């Protein structure tokens, strides 16, 4: 539960509540960014880019020959 202006909390709970409040603000600001992509989406896109960049265009016979020759 995040802090609200004027809220009274015990000193024991203050640290964790401040932390939760800051994390909530950070997440909210991040999600407001129009082009924000979560890490798993960025990772998937990077892997796709690498596959396209380094993918060799070979037919099936050439592929198996290159695997077995080395």
pLDDT above 70: percentage of residues in the chain: 97
- Compute how many other C-beta atoms are within 10 angstroms of the C-beta atom of residue 21: 15
Q: Write the CB contacts of 45 (distance below 8 Å, at least 6 apart in sequence).
A: 37
**pTM exceeding 0.85:** no
Place 22 in a pLDDT band, splitting at 50, 70 and 90: very high
Residue 26 pLDDT greater than 70, yes or no: yes
Query: Would you kindly state where each structural domain of the chain is located, as residue ranges?
Result: 11-69
């Amino acid at each position: 539960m995040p802090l609200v202006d004027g809220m009274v909390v015990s000193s024991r709970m203050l640290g964790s509540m401040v932390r939760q409040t800051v994390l909530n603000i950070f997440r909210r600001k991040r999600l407001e960014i129009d082009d924000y992509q979560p890490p798993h989406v960025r990772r998937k896109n990077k892997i796709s880019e690498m596959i396209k960049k380094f993918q060799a265009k070979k037919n099936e016979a050439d592929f198996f020959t290159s695997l077995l020759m080395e």
